[in-house]
């Protein structure tokens, strides 16, 4: 969406605070021995308490309130009573919601407890790359330029990017124009970021794979060459200068 009134700014900030707070609290609540269904139920209770509804359920009838992916699952993991969290797991939680006609999206990967499987470097790289990408976004900048930056920074750190997962426009629905904010320089995309537009910018940083494929459950995605992936995402308003990060409350570190 394109922001045209102060009321729209307030509406977007309210729903963004909701998804950011829910993501932050779900990360704090997660512990070894808990099922991903228990974690999702906690997130659902938080969203309901704010009067918000699950965006993936409302839009796609996703079988859960939030997406929770564990280990070699890259994204869109279905919450399950059978999936039990363990010390050192690489976990991704993606929370998107609708409130009063406004939509916002954010996500984060993190290591549960002690980093026994050595995933923290991947997580830290994803965070650093997201922050650098956001710092370069302003009205008039080509979307492909940001994709080039993300891929270059990933390669510097010895990682790859997933090419069929992208960020997107958001605001009055979950996915809007621009439909693809890729993590690589898609030369066919000649679009530029527009001042006052709302976008969800996200990283997809991988140890091995360059594409994500969907499992038989119809939702969960894994890498075409295996390995692990970290994702971090903010919803923001594009300006002539530094973007306004609407989901800043999720406490993705700035470094």
- Detail the residues annotated as belonging to a binding site for a divalent metal cation: 94, 105, 168, 202, 233
Residue positions forming the annotated binding site:
76, 94, 105, 168, 175, 202, 233
User: What DSSP string describes the chain?
Assistant: -B--SHHHHHHHHHHHHHHHHHHHHHHHH--TT-BHHHHHHHHHHHHHHTT-EEHHHHHH--SSSSEEEETTEEE-PPP-SS-B--TT-EEEEEEEEEETTEEEEEEEEEE-SS-TT--HHHHHHHHHHHHHHHHT--TT-BHHHHHHHHHHHHHHTT-EE-TT--EEE-SSSSSEEEEEE-SS--TT---B--TTBEEEEE--EESS-SSEEE-TTSS-EEETT---EE-EEEEEE--SSS-EETTGGG-----
Q: How far apart are CA 222 and CA 227, in angstroms?
A: 8
Structure tokens at 235: 């919803």
Annotated binding site for substrate: 76, 175
């Amino acid at each position: 969406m394109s922001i045209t009134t102060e009321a729209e700014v307030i509406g977007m900030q309210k729903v963004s605070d909701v998804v950011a707070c829910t993501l932050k609290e779900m990360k704090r609540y997660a512990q070894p021995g808990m099922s991903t269904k228990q974690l999702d139920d906690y997130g659902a209770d938080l969203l309901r308490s704010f009067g918000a509804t699950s965006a993936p359920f409302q839009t796609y009838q996703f079988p859960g309130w939030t997406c929770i992916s564990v280990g070699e699952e890259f994204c869109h993991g279905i919450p399950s009573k059978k999936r039990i969290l363990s010390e050192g797991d690489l976990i991704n939680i993606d929370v998107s919601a609708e409130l009063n006609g406004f939509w916002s999206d954010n996500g984060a990967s993190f290591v549960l407890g002690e980093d026994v499987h050595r995933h923290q470097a991947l997580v830290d790289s994803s965070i650093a790359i997201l922050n650098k990408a956001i710092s370069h976004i302003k009205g008039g900048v080509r979307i492909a330029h940001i994709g080039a930056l993300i891929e270059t920074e990933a390669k510097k750190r010895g990682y790859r990017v997933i090419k069929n997962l992208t960020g997107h426009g958001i605001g009055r629905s979950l996915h809007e124009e621009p439909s693809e904010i890729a993590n690589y320089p898609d030369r066919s995309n000649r679009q530029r970021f527009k001042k006052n537009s709302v976008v969800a910018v996200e990283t997809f940083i991988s140890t091995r794979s360059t594409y994500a494929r969907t499992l038989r459950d119809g939702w969960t995605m894994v890498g075409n060459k295996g390995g692990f992936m970290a994702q971090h995402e903010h919803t923001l308003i594009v300006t002539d200068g530094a973007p306004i990060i609407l989901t800043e409350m999720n406490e993705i570190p700035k470094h």
